Amino acid sequence: MELFKRVKILNFMEYSKWGLGVSSLLILACLGLIFFKGFNLGVDFAGGSVAQVRFTQKAPIAKIRQAFTEAQFSGVQVSAFGSEKEVVIKIPVGKAHKDLSTEIDTILKPLGKFEIRKLDSVGPKVGDELKQKGILSLVLAILAMMLYVSLRYEWRFALASVIALLHDSLITATSVIVFNIDLNLEVIAAILTLIGYSINDTIIIFDRIREGMLTKRTNDLNFVINEAISSTLTRTLLTSLTVFFVLLVLYIFGSKILVGFSLPMLIGTIVGTYSSIFIAPRVAILLGFDLERYHENELKKAKKKQEKERLRRLYEHGRV
């Protein structure tokens, strides 16, 4: 399927100058949010308990908070969850509770009829272990991608793809601060999924750029990149839109529990597509990639390969 019957070569490299400026501002904003506000750690990492409670009438959020305060529960957070009848109660790590479900039932009983639909508890040691494993999984995933692209591409293009990957991961991770989403295992899963998606999108474009550099004997790198991005634009847009609409349906019609995965992935899909087109190729040029020198090196490699083949044939015929 083709969105465009004729491939029109667009000047993406001209537009990428603006894209690089926008990305620089976004990264500074992300670092500022992380430094001044920080992530709101979910129960998975911080430890504690989360109760999902549904009332038969509108949930009295203010009275619920007051009831837990009177019961000497400190730092309890109560917020609406999907509908006005349903709330989420977050209880931080504190005193030991032998039967938290019974205690919640006793506290909320005077406020009306309700049902405890879900109750999750994570101890502080388990939360710390999950946090360490989450960070380790992200680091290992990025290192694995760095190793892969370093073996596949010239080092400037490899480094550019890694920088684009870090760019996507940082913006996606910071989006949970903007939308007040708890940093938990669902968010880590979204970022890990994005890493695979984003690097694949960049590789498709870089493969076409490398093909263009080898088949078209021109030293105009901007032209080669513009032609490569334009020729893969249909594939890039179709893939991105397919993923985007699936995630949009998941975000709109899925439960609130899935927001930690679907919303970061929605943002990551947009950012990943944008960085593959406007950021990664521009960074490769800024790192000093020289197409003329690349052609000279490829010519030397081809001559060495021909010489080895010639010597091999001579050896096979007993002339060496």
Please spell the DSSP secondary structure of 56-73, one letter per residue: SS---HHHHHHHHHHTT-
**Residue 240 to residue 200: CA distance in whole angstroms:** 11
Comparison of pLDDT for 214 and 243, the residue scoring more = 243
pLDDT of residue 171: 93
On the 0-12 / 13-18 / 19+ scale of CB atoms within 10 A, 42 is: buried
- For strands 83-91 and 77-81, give the pairing: antiparallel
Domain with CATH 1.20.1640.10 in the chain: 12-40+127-289
> For the ranges 139-148, 150-159, 197-206, 299-308, which has the lowest average pLDDT?
299-308
Whether pLDDT at 66 is above 90: no
Domain with CATH 3.30.70.260 in the chain: 48-122
Whether pLDDT at 244 is above 70: yes
Taking only the tens place, the pLDDT of each residue in 29-40 is 999 999 998 888
pLDDT of residue 267: 93
Per CATH, the homologous superfamily of domain 12-40+127-289 is Multidrug efflux transporter AcrB transmembrane domain (1.20.1640.10)
The band of 26, judged by pLDDT with boundaries at 50, 70 and 90, is very high
Structure tokens of 17? 């100058």
Which of the four CATH numbers 3.30.70.260, 3.30.450.60, 1.10.246.90, 3.40.50.720 does domain 48-122 have? 3.30.70.260
The band of 258, judged by pLDDT with boundaries at 50, 70 and 90, is confident
pLDDT of residue 315: 62
Taking only the tens place, the pLDDT of each residue in 261-308 is 889 999 999 999 999 888 988 888 888 777 777 667 667 776 777 667
In this structure, are residues 164 and 202 in contact, taking their beta carbons and an 8 Å threshold?
yes
Whether pLDDT at 186 is above 80: yes
**Residue 54 to residue 80: CA distance in whole angstroms:** 10
The band of 6, judged by pLDDT with boundaries at 50, 70 and 90, is low
